[in-house]
Structure 1
Amino acid sequence: MTIKVKKTGLILLTLAASFLSGFTASTMISSNKQKMKRVTGIGGIFFKCKNPKAINQWYKTHLGFDTTPYGTSFEWRDLTDSTKKGLTQWNPFPEDTKYFEPSAKDFMINYRVENLEKLVEVLKKENVTIIDQIETFDYGKFVHILDPEGNKIQLWEPKD
């Protein structure tokens, strides 16, 4: 009887250890997935209009935007580190622009990201449509993707 109890206890202990190690591994894997930040904020709002110059002037006159021919940039500070500055771009485009293609929509949102190369690798594995190659400029790296409804999205890893 003592051998049976010890054997049953050993089996239960082994099962419990297996379950817990599997649960721990699963938790570690899923928490590692969650650690990679994807989108960290909105980098810009771009939209089509009949007359970008007139729209820029209207927003300047009535809403106080400090517009240029390229729209305006809103500067802000990082919530967790107030020494870090960021920009969000607002920009009207001519209604006949091809820049938003292949999307047929009249707008495009730019999202800020932390690690564009890593994010693109993940998105490819998730079968997200990547429209172009990552491009690098003095102010950051960019790539375009499509959401399931065909909206073109610009991802931007800024050099703040």
Structure 2
Amino acid sequence: MPVLGLGGFFWRAKDPEGLKAWYREHLNVGGGCGTDERGQSNEWFWHPEPGPIVFEPFKETTDYFAADKQFMLNLRVRDLDSLLEQLNAAGIAVITKDEWDSPETGRFARIHDPEGNAIELWEPAES
């Protein structure tokens, strides 16, 4: 199979530069974040750690995220509790629900970016 993995995620935004800065500041996501295998960084590329990616369409009637949004971003995180503390300190509303968490899959929380896009934060279960 020639596909190696996810190559990018693109969407429309009212304020692309402001949204890019928000993701970088609060989640360390986007161009210039992380380094490649040689320790190099690049303003265009984000170098996340290797790990699982879920690629899954939902039914158009799902209530798992807002009906007026076509996507929900799920980010794999380490130390969810610390990240939630940082987000709360920055005034970003955090949603958690006990029923989202399970020993098999891990723990989840939800935030929204300044344009109302849902971001699910996922701390995978320990292997």
Normalised by the shorter chain, which TM-score bucket? Answer: 0.5 to 0.7
- Does residue 94 of structure 2 align to residue 115 of structure 1? no
Q: What is the RMSD computed on CA atoms of the aligned residues? A: 2.9
Q: Hey, which of these two has a bigger chunk of strand by percent?
A: 1
SS of residue matched to 1:131: coil
Per-residue CA deviations over 1:85-115 (Å, capped at 9, x if unaligned) read 72100001111111113x6211011001111
Residue 94 (structure 1) aligned to one of 54, 59, 81? 59
- 8 Å CA contact 1:39, 1:112 repeated in 2: no
- Give the corresponding residue for 1:128: 92
SS of residue matched to 1:142: strand
Give, as a single letter, the amino acid of the residue that structure 2 aligns with 1:124: N
Q: Tell me how far apart the structure 2 counterparts of residues 40 and 87 of structure 1 sit (CA, whole Å).
A: 17
Q: Which ranges of structure 1 fall in alignment gaps of 5 or more residues? A: 1-37, 42-78
- Give the corresponding residue for 2:118: 152
SS of residue matched to 1:106: coil
Greater CA drift, 126-135 or 107-116: 126-135
Using the TM superposition, give the Cα deviation of residue 158 of structure 1 relative to its aligned residue in structure 2, in angstroms.
Answer: 1.0
Larger radius of gyration: 1
Q: Which ranges of structure 2 fall in alignment gaps of 5 or more residues? A: 1-26, 31-36, 38-48
| TM-score, normalising length: structure 1 | 0.44
Give, as a single letter, the amino acid of the residue that structure 1 aligns with 2:91: N
Q: Hey, which of these two has a bigger chunk of helix by percent?
A: 1
Instruction: Kindly tell me the number of residue pairs found equivalent between the two proteins.
Output: 83
- Percent of pairs with identical residues: 40
- Give the corresponding residue for 2:107: 141
Change (3 A) 1:158 1:91: same
| TM-score, normalising length: structure 2 | 0.54
**Runs of at least 4 residues off by over 4 Å:** 38-41
